[in-house]
Amino acid sequence: MEFLTAKQLVAKAKQNINEADVHAVSDMIKDPNTLIIDVREPSEFAEGHIAGATNIPRGVLEFKLDPDSSSDYPDLQNRTKQMVVYCRSGSRSALAVQSIRMLGFSNAYSMVGGMEQWKQSGLPWTN
């Protein structure tokens, strides 16, 4: 069995997922049907997030998206709906999108650079 570092695991995930930079995401979320998922911890979310984002921490994401486990988020049961996933820097979101794809969601994107890049680019956020 091959063992990887966290950095290698993220790099491997990024080879198999869709990514979008913050400017593309800014355009994507203008569509009110696009789901915005923040996979950071609640304390991070409270410090600032993209308006309209739903906070589902990375540690429980798969269970919240699985219709057999949860019905907390009915909008997240549509496996073809466009979804943007972000975290602080883009690593957790890459791993999250890899899992999301394995659950059958075909239109999920990880936001490159995460919330750090979003803020550095001067894009709007709320808390």
Helix ranges (DSSP H) in the chain: 6-14, 22-28, 42-46, 61-65, 91-102, 114-120
**Cα gap 65→84, rounded to integer Å:** 14
From 17, 76, 84, 87, active-site residue: 87
**Cα gap 72→117, rounded to integer Å:** 29
Question: Could you confirm whether 87 is annotated as catalytic?
Answer: yes
End-to-end C-alpha distance for the chain, whole angstroms: 43
Would you please indicate which residues are annotated as catalytic (active-site) residues? Answer: 87
